[in-house]
Amino acid sequence: MDDKPIALITGATSGIGEATAKILSKSYNLILCGRRKDRLDRLGDELKTGTSLLSFDVRDKENVFKAIDSLPSEWKKVDVLVNNAGNAHGMDFIHEGNPDDWDAMIDINVKGLLYVSKAIIPDMVKRKRGHIVNISSIAGFEVYPKGNVYCASKHAVDALTKGMRLDLNPYGIKVTSIDPGLVETEFSEVRFKGDKERAKSVYEGFTPLTAHDVAETIDFVLSRPDHVLIGDVLMLAKAQANSTIVNKNSQ
């Protein structure tokens, strides 16, 4: 690794996290995280920057700390944390929802984000520097039918972003929330449990955001002058007015 700053990205194996790794590779050494090790290896080989690969499940508290603690000391000074790992699991009325899906969303999107943050933030506090970017969602502000628990998990991310910004203010640590609307990634395939047709239909009839669009915004936020903190970015496809209104005849 050279003397570029270090960014740790969770969920770097696909979608927004992978696109963010590609863009940030120009200006950061990268710690890339995700469960799918083959994808991490491939991305690590592809990127022209220093990389350190950590394969762990963010739900597994012990392993989160073990994995991050296993980093060589020169990799432990993380300047940027992108808390991106997360997904929706299922989309059902509240009375028909599957408690296992609820566990997954709360455990990954909320508790997983907390565990990774706990493993990284104390060193930022010690060094009085750092920037945390939490990937929330429009679902962190709005609730849509059958979105119940996913929306609750992203509302929690919004509260945690605000809490982090308050608590870390004395240490000069910036905290940003990126709140995308519909982005075409593997997100809907995961939500609909591998049903590719149903996943594809979510993005039909309009041009959704791409992972690259979101990654560019993350790069923009991170590259502002030191005194500038962009707190929240709601970003939508042109065709999307809010969580439920999408102009599907717009392409």
Query: Which residues contact ligand 8X3 by CB under 6 A?
Result: 137-139, 147, 181-182, 243
Closer Cβ to ligand NDP, 160 or 190, answer by number: 190
150 catalytic per annotation: yes
Least separation, in Å, of the C-beta of 174 and ligand NDP? 19
- From the list ligand NDP, ligand 8X3, none, which binds 237 (C-beta under 5 to 8 Å, kind-based)? none
Which amino acid, one-letter code, is at 177? Answer: S
Alpha-carbon distance values, 244 to 130, 180, 235, 250 (Å): 35, 14, 15, 15
- From the list ligand 8X3, ligand NDP, none, which binds 15 (C-beta under 5 to 8 Å, kind-based)? ligand NDP
Nearest to 66 by CA among 74, 76, 56: 56
State the catalytic residue, choosing from 28, 115, 150, 203: 150
- From the list ligand NDP, ligand 8X3, none, which binds 190 (C-beta under 5 to 8 Å, kind-based)? ligand NDP
Least separation, in Å, of the C-beta of 29 and ligand NDP? 19
Q: Which residues would be at the binding site for ligand NDP (CB under 6 A)?
A: 10-11, 13-17, 34-36, 57-59, 84-87, 108, 112, 135, 137, 180, 182-183, 185-187, 190, 211
Least separation, in Å, of the C-beta of 68 and ligand NDP? 13
Q: How far apart are CA 206 and CA 176, in angstroms?
A: 28
Q: How far apart are CA 1 and CA 62, in angstroms?
A: 27
| β-pair type (51-55, 174-180) | unpaired
Burial of 157-194, coded b for 16+ CB within 10 Å and e otherwise, reads: bbebbeebbeebeeeebbbbbbbbbbbbbebbbbbbee
Closer Cβ to ligand NDP, 103 or 123, answer by number: 103
Least separation, in Å, of the C-beta of 113 and ligand NDP? 8
Across the strands, what pairs with 234? 179
Q: Which residues are catalytically annotated?
A: 150
